[in-house]
Structure 1
Amino acid sequence: MQKLGVIIDSEDMYKKFKDLLNQEFFVDKSNIINDFNKLIGKDGSCNVCITKPRRFGKTSIAAMLTTYYSVGIDSQEIFDKLKVSKGKKIEQYRKFQGKYHTLYFDFSSELYKYNSLNALLDSINDILKDDIKYIYPNINVLNNDKNDNLIYNLRNLHRKTKDFIIIINELDSVIFSNRFTPDDKVKYIRFLKSLIKDKSYSAFAYMTGISPIAKEFSQSTLNCFDEYSMLDDDEYYQYFGFTEQEVRDLCEKNKKINKNSKIKYENLENWYNGYKAYNGEKIFNPWSIYHALADDRIENYWTKTGRFDELVNIINFNILGVKDNILELIKGKKIKIKLENFGAENNLNSSTNNKETNEKTNEKKLKAELYSKMVTFGFLTYYDGKISIPNKELEEKFINVLRKYKDLEYYYNMINNSGKMLEMTLEKNPKEICKILGNSHMENIKPGDKMDHCNLKRVVEFAYFNARINYIDEEVGKGKGIADFIFYPKKKSQTVIIIELKVDGSAKKALKQIHRKKYYHDLKNDGYKGNILLLGINLNTENELYSCIIEERDNKLKEISVDEYPKSEMKEKLINLILKIKEKLIKNLMVYIKD
């Protein structure tokens, strides 16, 4: 083992990789080395930029590359046990192992210390010079003249030593930091270009970040990388995040380590699955999977690694259609949209107040950029031209966003009450169902708001939000039309729920429509063996009163019971009349008091 520095053959990265190897749930991603080895020496293809959400393994790969390529690290014993050393590529594996100096730059490290780009680069240059003095005390590399800068010192070092493997971690930290001016950010992109492009000292470069790098920003163009992002990666997607097979293997390993573990693959899939590769392959968030297995508990791990309000700050509800889209996504829908690539140039353009860009923006473009940003940051996934919320962990994050906005808090409350709503439905308690709907309505629907069939349907859909745990909800019908809701149980022995809605009609009319249209047709032939609950729900918009009737039938359609609230239409009319009289009395009393 030779001397290791902070930047040159980074000791920190070497230690990090050794720590990763010692983890109980280590996943071997070393085959990416063979993929990268094929690029060394290929003009125009030897620089790769990987942009993925935080905690998706970018830094772990950087630590592995540092350990493998560094001339200062004897890594044969480590990698001879890993996948990279197996198979037909053994010669290539030996050829490049330990043959380079790696240069590790982390641009996210201690940014709070610097108020300008020059101060940051000077600090990095000072660290590099200390490394050179420590590793090569007898070689005259540093002249300390007026050309003393990072790139100049790298050129001089290269003349006396080996080619470099350059690793740049968290590239976009500077661009998204408020500590640097717009001019500094533009200069930073130019610096990166000067560091990498057409440099004889660079054999290969691996760059990481969250946002794709700027390729379209005037003279700052950084086009010397092949880039792979959450929106476009058909080469390296399997190395960032865990594949389905890797998660299954970890579950098998967990059984041997912890025989009393409660965690099964199905638990992990149910809560954390959802990201899709370009080919539809499942990708899991590695941070969440690791901690769920280590803690033997399903929790929201990844969403805790960022600020609580980060999603609130990203979503712009002022863009036309975004509010409706977010509500649809929370309900588990997929939205078809053509996305715009979001990257560092978006931040640069906004920072420099690019007039041309501002003139061209419109609602459609803004929406595409917003959703692209959310995919880039890992809050949404994009597959087959559609965006969706990847998993239940993130779904809860989106639900929490609702309570931050006055006009969306209604849906947040409905979701929180949805467990009670399903419970009352299965208990055939129409009074409680009306009470749940009525309370939320009174608390959150503003006077003058339009409450048509479409909005009522949305309210009821959120009221039954938790039904999706055990049910598949579809707006379909086997008979002569389409029901508002049919909840098909995942276990076919359980109860099927069919709901029809009316506005300013009656609950009985809604129930009659279910029978007239025969929405329950063929349920028995489809294998459903449980009873069927038919619900008619009506909203009287004038008095904001709900009525509900629940009819239970067996799977042969024989009636079992009928429960109604209010007990009769006459009673409902009487209640309405009493409310009108009450309202009139209050008005007369107010007039009397004024007089």
Structure 2
Amino acid sequence: MGVYLNGTTAYTLYKSETAKPYFVDKSQMLKELFPLVSTGNNHICITRPRRFGKTVMANMIASFFSKGCDAQDVFQNLAIARYEEYSKYRNQFSVIHISFNDFTEDCSSYDEYIGQIRGQLAEDLKAEYPNAKSYGEGKIIKMLANIYAEDPSARFIFVLDEWDFIFHQDFVTEDNKKEYLLFLRSLLKDRPYVLMAYMTGILPIAKYSSGSELNMFMEYTMITEERFSETFGFTETEVDKLYAKYQALEKRERVTRENLKNWYDGYHTYGGERVYNPRSVVLSLQNNNLGNYWTSAGPYDEIYYYIEHNVDDVRDDLALMVSGVSVPAKIQEYAATSMNLQTKDEIFSAMVVYGFLSYENGKVCIPNKELMEKFADMLQKQPSFGYVYQLAKESERMLQATIAGDTDTMVKILELAHNTEVPLLSYNNEIELTAVVNLVYLSARDTYRVEREDKAGKGYVDFIFYPEMDRDADCIILELKVDATPDAAIRQIKDKKYAMKFQSRMGEQPRYTGRVLAVGISYDRIEKAHQCKIEVLKESEI
């Protein structure tokens, strides 16, 4: 057994994963790989955003097929064990498993990086095949060809995790990238010793391989291929099961099923199924707390990285997306790794590939509350966003004025929005007014769960602010009107009984104990003026 060849690392890690309380069995994926292994010389690449289960699946595949271990104790109770081919394929093959994001701290050049990989694999091959001819240190391709020539049964399954990790390293030059692509091509393309090459990464191969270097791979992305779509990310059914387990394990539940959906749902497969960010779901249940578990791996400025040189192009669309509106975009099958993102569609393509945006039916949007908080944080910290930044900075004052019933201050802040250069918002309809209101209440997201177009009572309300941090805080129902009065907005809140939404939640523990505020905001397009009105709803009106 070696480090890369028939090692036990994948088995150890995957066995540990299956023992965790919120483990999700995705082993049925293996059945789809059986025909590929059987026919030989097959190459597939799975690309997904980070933390979507790529490494767990790579460990599963390596530990299942590798003859370097006996994984019966791991797989006998998983879904794959039900299939008749299970015993035929389990632990019967030589597996070369390489995690490309694993390198030593003293590695400071591409030559050192690839040299470590070549050298270790050469050592593994020499130990397993002591009679194999050596062609010099690290000449693994010739070694593999020689091994196969001597023994045609010597064929390998390659499991290559995070293949594109190298492209994100500062020490890697453009020439190094070309060398790396040629290395993978020489290692894998048209080689009889390859039974199957299974590769994972974040960015599509097409971004890097403009020619024929890696065209032997069939690539499966989240937005272009339905196959394997349920393997990466959690489906609604899987989250339901995890939540039932959470309820059985947790004595004092602080996470609701609805909150899991609001915080971590929002991604879409090619087939239209919604999927959750798996890391965030597991950690929120494990910690009994909602939080930014996925985005904590990179601060808000990671989002800003993609747009800082093209703020003007994307600013208005971001204002709409923060409002919960999807905007049209032509998503391309690549994403740049440099700062040289030339167009809005290139920027949004990169953000979809990295998981910062979700894409469906030709439109992009911010997928969930976890990411919405990061976008909101960015908008309040970057003056380069112009009017969006100015309105976001006023959002704390707007919230406090609303709670205090200070409609004069509310009107002044809204007039600031109108008098600021706002090319997006011509105030021709309530959607544009909604975008402005989202911006001027942006800081409310820190303490409230803000829902738009929520079904409440007999109709749909524009905004409901649910106090999540402080159950003594005021609840807010906000209705918008164009060319009408704020009195009409308040009347609609009462007539359609929008407060019924709070009534059902007041039975929850802990109960809401604050006031319920009905807030009406209107804009007169002729007079070009805002009006605001606030009423505290009586108990009989709730």
Report the TM-score range of the alignment, normalised by the length of the smaller protein: 0.7 to 0.9
Change (3 A) 1:21 1:229: same
Matches within 5 A, 1:97-246: 97-110=90-103, 113-135=106-128, 139-143=130-134, 145-146=135-136, 149-158=139-148, 159-160=150-151, 162-214=154-206, 217-246=209-238
Q: Which residue of 2 aligns with 1:14?
A: 11
Seen in structure 2, the aligned counterparts of structure 1 residues 457 and 77 have a Cα distance that, compared at 3 Å, is: closer
Q: 1:201 to 1:495 in 2, by over 3 A?
A: closer
Aligned to 2:31: 34
**Which whole-Å CA distance do the structure 2 matches of 1:253 and 1:79 have between them?**
21
1:50 alignment partner in structure 2? 46
Corresponding letter in the other structure for 1:251: Y
Equivalent residue of 1:487, what SS? Answer: strand
Q: Percent identity?
A: 31
The 3 A distance-change label for structure 1 pair 73 and 549 is closer
The 3 A distance-change label for structure 1 pair 218 and 304 is closer
Structure 1 CA distance, aligned partners of 2:113 and 2:384? 44
Q: After TM superposition, give the deviation of residue 116 of structure 1 in Å.
A: 4.3
The answer on 1:472 being equivalent to 2:452 is: yes
Residue type matched to 1:286 in 2? Answer: P
The residue aligned with 1:570 is none
Equivalent of residue 385 in structure 1, options 347, 358, 362: 362
**Which residue type is aligned with residue 196 of structure 1?**
L
Q: What is the Cα deviation at residue 342 of structure 1?
A: 1.1
Indicate the SS of the match to 1:469.
strand
Q: Could you say what secondary structure the match of 2:37 adopts?
A: coil
Name the SS of the counterpart of 1:239 in structure 2. coil
- Give the CA deviation at 1:84: 0.5
TM-score normalised by the chain length of structure 1: 0.74
| Equivalent position SS for 1:403 | helix
Judged with a 3 Å threshold, the aligned counterparts in structure 2 of structure 1 residues 111 and 184 are, in CA distance, closer, same or farther, namely farther
Letter in 2 for 1:11: T
Pair 1:330–1:213, CA change in 2 (3 A): same
In structure 2, the CA distance between the partners of 1:78 and 1:240, relative to structure 1 (3 Å rule), is same
Q: Is residue 267 from structure 1 mapped to residue 250 from structure 2 by the alignment?
A: no
Matches within 5 A, 1:482-561: 487=462, 489=464, 497-500=478-481, 528=498, 533-536=519-522, 548-550=531-533
CA distance in 1, matches of 2:519, 2:114: 69
Shift of 1:326: 1.4
Work out the CA distance in 2 between the residues paired with 1:383 and 1:335. 10
**Per-residue deviation at 1:177?**
2.1
Residues 47 and 20 from structure 1, CA distance in 2 versus in 1: closer, same or farther, beyond 3 angstroms? same
Contact residue 11 and residue 59 of structure 2 kept, 8 A: yes
Q: Which has the larger radius of gyration?
A: 1
Residue 430 in structure 1 maps to residue 407 in structure 2:
yes
Closer/same/farther in 2, CA of residues 528 and 293 from structure 1, 3 Å limit: closer
Deviation at 1:435, TM superposition (A): 5.9
| Deviates most, 104-113 or 275-284 | 104-113
Answer yes or no: is 1:304 the counterpart of 2:280.
no
Seen in structure 2, the aligned counterparts of structure 1 residues 18 and 539 have a Cα distance that, compared at 3 Å, is same
Instruction: Please report how far the alpha carbon of residue 175 of structure 1 lies from its aligned counterpart in structure 2 after TM superposition.
Output: 2.3
Matched residue type, 1:378: G
Amino acid at match of 2:98: F
Structure 2 counterpart of 1:76, from 63, 72, 75: 72
CA displacement at 1:318 relative to structure 2: 2.2
Offset from partner CA, 1:470-502 (integer Å, 9 cap, x none):
55349xxx9xxxxxx9626599xx98644447x
One-letter identity of the residue aligned with 1:374: M
Within the candidate set 235, 238, 249, 2:241 is matched to 249
Quote the Cα distance in structure 1 between the aligned partners of 2:167 and 2:58. Answer: 21
Instruction: State the 1:323 CA deviation.
Output: 1.1
CA displacement, residues 75-116 of structure 1 (integer Å, 9 cap, x when unaligned): 123211100111xx32x2221111111101222222764454
**Given the alignment of the two structures, is residue 61 of structure 1 paired with residue 53 of structure 2, yes or no?**
no
Determine the C-alpha separation between the residues in 1 that align with 2:498 and 2:247: 35
1:206, CA displacement in angstroms? 0.7
Report if aligned partners of 1:116, 1:181 keep a CA contact under 8 Å in 2.
no
Any unmatched runs of 5+ in structure 1? 352-357, 479-484, 502-509, 559-595
Q: Structure 2 CA distance, aligned partners of 1:216 and 1:288?
A: 30
Q: Would you say the 8 A contact 2:480–2:489 is kept in 1?
A: no
**Cα separation, 1, equivalents of 2:52 and 2:25:** 14
Shift of 1:156: 3.1
**For residue 512 of structure 2, what is the aligned residue in structure 1?**
none
- In structure 2, how many angstroms separate the alpha carbons of the residues matched to 1:500 and 1:230? 39
The residue type equivalent to 2:371 in the other structure is L
- Aligned AA (1:141): A
Contact 1:535–1:549, Cα closer than 8 Å, also in 2: yes
TM-score by length of 2: 0.80
> Alpha-carbon deviation of 1:174?
1.7
How far apart, CA to CA, are the structure 2 residues paired with 1:232 and 1:451?
Answer: 33
Call closer, same or farther: CA 1:417–1:9 in 2, change over 3 Å: farther
Matches for 1:565-576 after TM superposition, within 5 Å: none
- Show CA shifts across 1:208-228 (max 9, x none): 110001378454531111101
Residue 333 of structure 1 aligns with which residue? 325
- Conserved? CA contact 2:97–2:160, under 8 Å: yes
SS of aligned partner of 2:164: helix
Q: Is the 8 A contact 1:69 1:102 kept in 2?
A: yes
Shift of 1:420: 6.3
- Three-state SS of the structure 2 residue aligned to 1:102 is strand
Deviations 1:505-551 (A, max 9, x none): xxxxx655x78xx7789878866577965444689999xxx874527
- Deviations along 1:419-449, one digit per CA (max 9) or x if unpaired, are 76456546643134246557x779x969x99
Distance 1:183 1:533, change over 3 A: closer
Aligned-pair CA distance for 1:176: 2.8
Moved more, 408-417 or 390-399: 408-417
Amino acid of the structure 2 residue aligned with 1:108? N
- Specify whether residues 116 and 541 from structure 1 end up closer, same or farther in structure 2 by C-alpha distance, changes over 3 A only: farther
Specify the SS of the correspondent of 1:205. strand
Query: Cα distance, 1:407 vs. partner?
Result: 3.9
- Quote the offset at 1:244 in angstroms: 1.0
SS at match of 1:61: helix
Q: Could you tell me how far apart the structure 2 residues matched to 1:426 and 1:222 are?
A: 59
Is the Cα contact below 8 Å between 2:40 and 2:196 reproduced in 1?
A: no
Q: Distance in 1 between matches of 2:190 and 2:104?
A: 28
